[in-house]
Amino acid sequence: GVRGFMIDVHDLEEQGSGNTTTTAHLCHGDCRIGSLPLAASLAQMNTYLDAHPTDVVVLLVEQYSTDDSVAAAVNASGLGSKMWRPPSGAATPATAGSAFAWPTLNE
């Protein structure tokens, strides 16, 4: 099956042990109302994909965070090895628009 999620990612500062760290979180609008750590949410997706290896999960990310904080969350979640990334210099959905050809599962 195919699952799709539209997610908003924001960087939030967390206080602890006398220092401040910035991590990526999922929230919509005002993050003070509630948020979830991106790494934990991606780890749940990783667990799901381990149990359903023929399924596809598509993430549409509205990013208000740094690339570094998103990369850290992806790496911490274990999901990175399952993600498709276009080769450097290759066409992407953003550059090719409707002419973009998604890879097959075998690719």
Taking only the tens of pLDDT, the chain with its 107 residues reads 789 999 999 999 877 777 778 899 999 988 889 999 999 999 999 999 999 988 999 999 999 999 999 999 999 999 999 988 888 888 888 888 888 888 887 77
Which pLDDT score, from 0 to 100, does residue 59 have? Answer: 92
Q: Are 49 and 105 in contact (CB under 8 A)?
A: no
Which pLDDT score, from 0 to 100, does residue 36 have? Answer: 96
Which pLDDT score, from 0 to 100, does residue 84 have? Answer: 84
What are the backbone angles phi and psi of residue 89, rounded to the nearest 5°? 85, -5
